[in-house]
Structure 1
């Protein structure tokens, strides 16, 4: 097994003076972002009363004053929908996990389930942007950009912030991957996420054109850098310096990325652990294995985005496919990091932008078309490693999974907690823009101490 991080990673680049603010429990993050919003009441949040009320109207008072998407409109009169698959208690912790996710169930004692997440947006793009940047509007730096800005990078041969996207094949539940989901906003463009592609070169223009040798590329870059440095001296535009740095990173990636994506050194046992799609670029399984290889080599923040969870009318069909694509690789990543001694310093997060309604969207008598609408008022995420307590569940929704009942965790609280685990006081990592000090958590957020070791 490979050892600790930074195998050939180089010296990296420094962060801001004075950071980290406190002793970090984690050095890096892998965010397994599930675009489209997984249904918490079918996967993680066991509510026996939903089965009792199946096909009956939503009881009065649960949705009073609540705003849902235009596909639902008013919740009054909607019929309750029982979980599609059975739930069981797992491991020594007794966490409830659906039969949809047998591999995740197998690592339940390594996970911290937060059942009391809540957010403010009811549609996908604003909710995703809110969770990743702290604002529903595009244009703010995303979490990976804030972290690489504040803490710098542990590697000089790979980006500090990498993004990979995937989608379940033949799904009708696709979501658009907007570039601003990994943007740097008003921070320097060198902090934005670098997207790895599924086809061809992982990064555009990674290969030299025919007839161009690596030495010729090096000489060409030196000449361009000299011209850019003259422009920087004349105009003082910090983006010129960012461009020089990115050109140099691109040159180093011509060697580091092919080595990163070459899986020939992985054991058969490791490949089998991630599942049948692991060697196929563009699959969630492949991206999960690359995420482990990236953090092993010093990448600070890896953001995997997998679309297909938007099951408005396909819980009994496409939800099965979605879970088959993501369950085994997600669990394998946690196990793999643990086996290699990397989990303690790597914070893994799994979750979407919100949950799904406990009541049905569609005809209760037409089972093949069962679906659930967007639900921001209570949903579940799980965390592993990075100084987070394991084998526990935090918070709770009410008996129908509609509202937070105890220990609510707002999006800004989750953001503050992630930064805290990397040694950052979320109130002190700021950037002045247009006359105001901005931060990831806006003017909100409290660290959820109860889910942290020694918290």
Structure 2
């Protein structure tokens, strides 16, 4: 006859079962924290970089881009003022855009009930740039000088009509928060190529004295339901770039190392018992923080930058927290093999100050954006670094405010423009087209999910195969949508 007390003592609890099953994985994760392993799945004869962590079998194919930098322009840059020239808006200035063109387009509540939709022409003339004869606004001279290096996509579209859902849509694949961001997906799938800096770094900026800005929410770079070790590390734009990197007074680096070793031993024992991935995250964060004590000061030591390089980024190149300074730091991060850098700059939401603030916003951002591309090219990094410039949507071709004297443009997701460079993108080209009002896409539409699929493809990932099981289903960045945009690939 069995002993019920003995039976209870030997019974495996649900927590213990999952903990013992996961402990092997957790121990493997810790073991690979300090050493590199070779990427798998890229083909027997392919030459691929070394990495730390990542999933077996990735990349799915040989990547064109080892690194990605997203230059996010929060608020909605006006495509018809900057990238998509529409003479018809000048010819019909003040006249309503025809109903046959507008159709049933979903607009924000700020303009959906308008009784007037007066055409507003571009506020500055367009110019021809480069051998590719790219037509861009005269407010973008430095980007224009890159005309033969970039690909302008004029057929982006999204269902989002407000800022936070629009940003969340591109960053995470859904308009509501809760899913992993693109940088988190890449960190999870591909791992890292540097031991001394985070895999995924975020910096924000906003010149609020000149322009209206948007809030930056943590879920724009969050890990969602994948372990939090894959979320973006935000560098601060005031004070120290990363807080608490300096040891307290009286604590040597050797003492800190000894303390971390003891903490790691305790965490490892706890990890073996329970297999909680957040314990693995804690171990990884402690180790990364220790390494960043030496890597971050070097990162922001600009003494080795030439004056001509600083001049490219403009007068704000060394002003902490500016978009220009963030672009310069981004280039230094990419040089150090940080996989995903996300710069988020607010200020493109010109509802009632289009004629004064759009040009100011271009002054703040276009030269640093171009300088980053130029520097990557000069250093031989552009070929395997993907640069993405864009926002959550564009602006309406009609004016907002007093129909007789409109001051701005509203949100517009039916058609808008982005540009990309490097990392396997076809240079000196344009892709897609809109009608004569910049309202409807007439050629090669590119949805948000299509752009996500294309970015992952350039990084060596089949977007349909990078998934994570959560709440009973397999999730991916592109949800159940998305096609690679073959027409922009080199």
In the TM superposition, residue 209 of structure 1 has moved relative to its aligned partner by 2.3
Deviation larger for 71-80 or 99-108: 71-80
Partner of 1:108: helix, strand, or coil? Answer: coil
Partner of 1:443: helix, strand, or coil? Answer: coil
* 2:436 alignment counterpart: 399
In the TM superposition, residue 230 of structure 1 has moved relative to its aligned partner by 2.1
* 1:31 alignment counterpart: 70
In the TM superposition, residue 221 of structure 1 has moved relative to its aligned partner by 1.4
* 1:429 alignment counterpart: 466
Partner of 1:349: helix, strand, or coil? Answer: strand
Distance (Å, rounded) in 1 between the aligned partners of 2:248 and 2:85: 56
**What's the Cα RMSD here?**
1.3
Per-residue CA deviation, residues 110-130 of structure 1 (Å, 9 max, x unaligned), is: 110000000011000000000
* 1:269 alignment counterpart: 308
1:301 corresponds, among 329, 332, 340, to 340
Distance 1:83 1:290, change over 3 A: same
- 1:58-207 matches, cutoff 5 A: 58-74=97-113, 76-207=115-246
Distance (Å, rounded) in 1 between the aligned partners of 2:478 and 2:316: 36
1:359 corresponds, among 398, 409, 413, to 398
Deviation larger for 385-394 or 56-65: 56-65
Distance (Å, rounded) in 2 between the aligned partners of 1:225 and 1:171: 47
Distance (Å, rounded) in 2 between the aligned partners of 1:287 and 1:320: 20
Q: Tell me if the contact between 2:64 and 2:384 (Cα under 8 Å) persists in the aligned partners.
A: yes
Task: Determine if the alignment matches structure 1 residue 378 to structure 2 residue 415.
Answer: yes
In the TM superposition, residue 172 of structure 1 has moved relative to its aligned partner by 4.5
* 1:336 alignment counterpart: 375
Q: Tell me if the contact between 2:70 and 2:343 (Cα under 8 Å) persists in the aligned partners.
A: yes
Structure whose alpha-carbon radius of gyration is higher: 2
Distance (Å, rounded) in 2 between the aligned partners of 1:279 and 1:436: 47
In the TM superposition, residue 151 of structure 1 has moved relative to its aligned partner by 0.7
In the TM superposition, residue 210 of structure 1 has moved relative to its aligned partner by 2.5
Task: Determine if the alignment matches structure 1 residue 345 to structure 2 residue 384.
Answer: yes
Q: Tell me if the contact between 2:211 and 2:348 (Cα under 8 Å) persists in the aligned partners.
A: no
Distance (Å, rounded) in 1 between the aligned partners of 2:468 and 2:78: 36
Distance (Å, rounded) in 2 between the aligned partners of 1:76 and 1:376: 20
Q: Tell me if the contact between 1:10 and 1:154 (Cα under 8 Å) persists in the aligned partners.
A: no
Q: Tell me if the contact between 2:152 and 2:430 (Cα under 8 Å) persists in the aligned partners.
A: yes
Per-residue CA deviation, residues 78-106 of structure 1 (Å, 9 max, x unaligned), is: 21111100011211111110011111111
- 1:189-228 matches, cutoff 5 A: 189-228=228-267
Deviation larger for 67-76 or 435-444: 67-76
* 2:325 alignment counterpart: 286
* 1:14 alignment counterpart: 53
In the TM superposition, residue 238 of structure 1 has moved relative to its aligned partner by 1.3
* 2:24 alignment counterpart: none
Distance 1:225 1:189, change over 3 A: same
In the TM superposition, residue 76 of structure 1 has moved relative to its aligned partner by 4.8
Partner of 1:317: helix, strand, or coil? Answer: helix
Aligned residues: 443
TM-score (norm 2): 0.89
* 1:389 alignment counterpart: 426
Q: Tell me if the contact between 1:414 and 1:447 (Cα under 8 Å) persists in the aligned partners.
A: yes
* 1:48 alignment counterpart: 87
* 1:251 alignment counterpart: 290
Per-residue CA deviation, residues 202-255 of structure 1 (Å, 9 max, x unaligned), is: 112122222322222212212221221222122221110111011100110011
Partner of 2:465: helix, strand, or coil? Answer: coil
Deviation larger for 49-58 or 214-223: 214-223
2:449 corresponds, among 404, 412, 432, to 412
Per-residue CA deviation, residues 287-322 of structure 1 (Å, 9 max, x unaligned), is: 111111101101000000000000001111111111
In the TM superposition, residue 156 of structure 1 has moved relative to its aligned partner by 0.6
Task: Determine if the alignment matches structure 1 residue 315 to structure 2 residue 354.
Answer: yes
Structure 1 residue runs of 4+, over 6 Å off?
none
In the TM superposition, residue 366 of structure 1 has moved relative to its aligned partner by 4.0
Q: Tell me if the contact between 1:10 and 1:157 (Cα under 8 Å) persists in the aligned partners.
A: no
Per-residue CA deviation, residues 358-399 of structure 1 (Å, 9 max, x unaligned), is: 0001125446xx100000000000000001101110001111
Distance (Å, rounded) in 2 between the aligned partners of 1:272 and 1:435: 53
